[in-house]
Amino acid sequence: MSISNSDLDRIASLSNLTIPETEKENLTKQLNAILGYVKKLASLPTSSVEPTTSATDQRSSFREDICYKSNKSEKIIVNAPREENNFFVVPKI
């Protein structure tokens, strides 16, 4: 698949972009080069690669979620400009 000038015009229209005539030829070449790289990537053998949702191994950063009881709320709430029933009162947005 390659991008033609009419494809570029349609993409520009859908994107609400104005592309000067002087840049269309160069932009079409660049987009076709990008599509060539994507085509190369699509031909790589990936059947033995496990699917992932991240480029990094996030499993190492997971930890057990532990809730600790804190008796510091009285010390914290004294910093509130306004307080009601042991909660900060903030302006409505």
pLDDT at residue 22 is higher than 90: yes
Asked whether the beta carbons of 35 and 2 are under 8 A apart, the reply is: yes
Q: How far apart are CA 82 and CA 10, in angstroms?
A: 56
Q: pTM here?
A: 0.50
Task: Say if CB 64 and CB 48 are below 8 A apart.
Answer: no
> With 80 as the cut, is the pLDDT of residue 4 above it?
yes
Q: Which two tokens stand for residue 13?
A: 């229209």
pLDDT tens-place string over residues 29-87 = 999 999 999 999 988 998 898 887 777 766 666 677 888 877 777 788 888 889 998 88
Query: What is the Cα–Cα distance from 2 to 35, expressed in whole angstroms?
Result: 7
In contact, 70 and 86? CB cutoff 8 Å: no
